[in-house]
Amino acid sequence: MDVIKIAAFSDGETGGNPAGVVIAGTLPSRTQMQAAAAEVGFSETAFAAPDGDSWTVRYFSPESEVPFCGHATIALGAALAMQEGDGVFHLNLKQASITVEGRRNGALITAALQSPPTSSAPADEGLAQEALQLFGYDADGLDPRIAPAIINAGAAHLLLALKSRAHLSAMEYDLANGRVFMNSNNLVTVALVFAQTDQLFHVRNPFASGGVYEDPATGAAAAALAGYLRSIGWPHDSVIDIIQGEDMGARSVLKVEIPGEPGSSIRVSGTARIM
């Protein structure tokens, strides 16, 4: 199976979140896709096959299938631009239909996805407390402007907003306990965020549900965060920038554009580099 390796949401020619991309005439079996994702070892691998004028896509982490993955979608957009030429590609996921755009720009490729619709709900107090204990935080360290929430833009994440960048940098947890916590609560990741300004966020995304300690860039969670900020009336002025992966030595940059209509699709864009 031919796997293209692409780092999505790169900081120019460095950083970004590595993803595998497989473009085939027909999708391999579920067993084959899971085995290939485990062998590649990246947080996600995207598998795509043509379906008329669109593409059928599925995403696998090393341990499980996930309903939607933003950085692997950006990587897929880059791979399709290389194979098919610049354009906007229609993708049929298991639970939604979206688009990804890919444009070649020298050694880098710019790509942008339109997320599935967004939704959010306040996090149960017990769930939030369990998460705080997992990461060694306490409620006093939370930013009161952004309450804990379950956020969704194609996949569910628990959002915890922290008061300080130092708290974010100090994040650590036990992977096995994190896996149990996320899987038992149907969470793909926990999004830990710090608002440096109204439009600049620093983010870390533990991804224990997929057997990955942390993702250096998470487009699905970025879209979900933007949808939640929109729902609470955050002064985002239609766009936020997200810096992720700095504490891992893999700085990643995500631009997130936020239309006004509640629940509508979020545009998440960045650059991709071939590995």
pLDDT tens for 130-180 read 999 999 999 999 999 999 999 999 999 999 999 999 999 999 999 999 999
Query: So what's the pLDDT on residue 1?
Result: 86
Domains in the chain, CATH or no CATH each: 4-114 (3.10.310.10), 119-269 (3.10.310.10)
CA 66, CA 38: separation in Å to the nearest integer? 13
pLDDT at 258: 98
- What confidence score (pLDDT) does residue 105 get? 84
pLDDT at 106: 81
Instruction: Write the single-letter amino acid at 115.
Output: S
Q: Extract the residue ranges of the chain whose pLDDT is less than 50.
A: none
State the pLDDT at residue 108.
Answer: 86
pLDDT number for residue 79 = 97
Q: What is the pLDDT of residue 84?
A: 96
